[in-house]
Amino acid sequence: MIIGFVQTKGGTGKSTLAVNTAFSGYMNRKFGSIALVELDPQGTLKGWWEDRDEMGYDPGKVSFHHISSSQKEVFQQGIKSISDYNELMIMDIPGEGTGKLHTRFACAYCDLVVIPMRMSTNDESAFINNLYPIIKEILRAVPEKKGQFHILPVFTHPRLNRQNCFDYFEDILPHQVSCLPVVFPTRSVYEKYNRRGLNLAEYAQLVQSNKKFTQQVDRAIEDIETICKTIIKVGKGNYGSN
């Protein structure tokens, strides 16, 4: 199964979601091998993975791959090679202002495209003007990809009435794109956990002597586990045995 976190707009939590989805307990119980793939030439996750190596953290079932090339044939072949040897591939797609080559590729290639998006007119405008035209173009060429594009509401208030959030997206989204029945809340721990190459579970071990921090990270881990279960449930509904 290939999951892409895709959004042309930066700062929507794609990398945080990709990393912690790959290392989630649910995904690691579900799949025998997991590839975390970064297509961002800036290499944010690459630096984070190098920190992990330096600190000696166990990657478990997760392998990391950074493909920085902007040549279509190069990264297409790289992705195909990685997907051939992993049961699950999670792709972190860079925000792109022009061309949107990686975005187009991910929307066409992934089994499930997860689009992190805030409840804001700015995010709505960016989606309609930049990402939605790509989705429409792909669906015209490959109609069977209908049902593979899903908004994930991000940076929601932890006490937000979630049904109000889902209703908001139902009102503004075109019929080709649906909203996942789950949210990614704003939590301060998401700004802290990844220093020195940590994932959420490893950060939880680091702060276990601090009750307040432990409660925060436990809630964050629960967020990710719920998101992962929802993604796989949606994926099964669309792709049968995938």
- Listed in sequence order, the residues at least 6 apart from 211 whose beta carbon sits closer than 8 Å to its beta carbon are none
Q: Which residue has the tokens 């680091």?
A: 206
What CA dihedral angle connects 232, 45, 214 and 117, to 10 degrees? Answer: -50
| Confidence at residue 237, expressed as pLDDT on a 0 to 100 scale | 62
Going from the C-alpha of 210 to that of each of 24, 90, 128, 186, 187, the distances in angstroms are 22, 32, 44, 20, 17
225: Cα separation from own chain's centroid: 13
Of all helices (H) and strands (E), which one includes residue 36? strand 34-38
Confidence of residue 240 (pLDDT cuts 50, 70, 90): very low
**Sign of the CA dihedral 41, 42, 43, 44?**
negative
pLDDT tens, 47-74?
A: 999 999 999 999 999 999 999 877 778 8
pLDDT tens, 147-201?
A: 999 999 999 999 999 999 999 999 999 999 999 999 999 999 998 899 889 999 9
What CA dihedral angle connects 54, 215, 61 and 12, to 10 degrees? Answer: -80
Q: How many Å apart are CA 151 and CA 87, to the nearest integer? A: 24
Q: What is the DSSP letter of 220?
A: H
CATH of residue 202's domain is 3.40.50.300
Q: Which domain holds residue 24?
A: 2-239
Q: How many Å apart are CA 5 and CA 113, to the nearest integer? A: 6
Burial of 178 (0-12, 13-18, 19+ CB in 10 A): middle
pLDDT tens, 123-146?
A: 999 899 999 999 999 999 999 999
Q: How many Å apart are CA 67 and CA 38, to the nearest integer? A: 6
- Look up residue 13 and give its amino acid: G
CA within 13 Å, CB half, 99: 8
Number of domains in the chain: 1
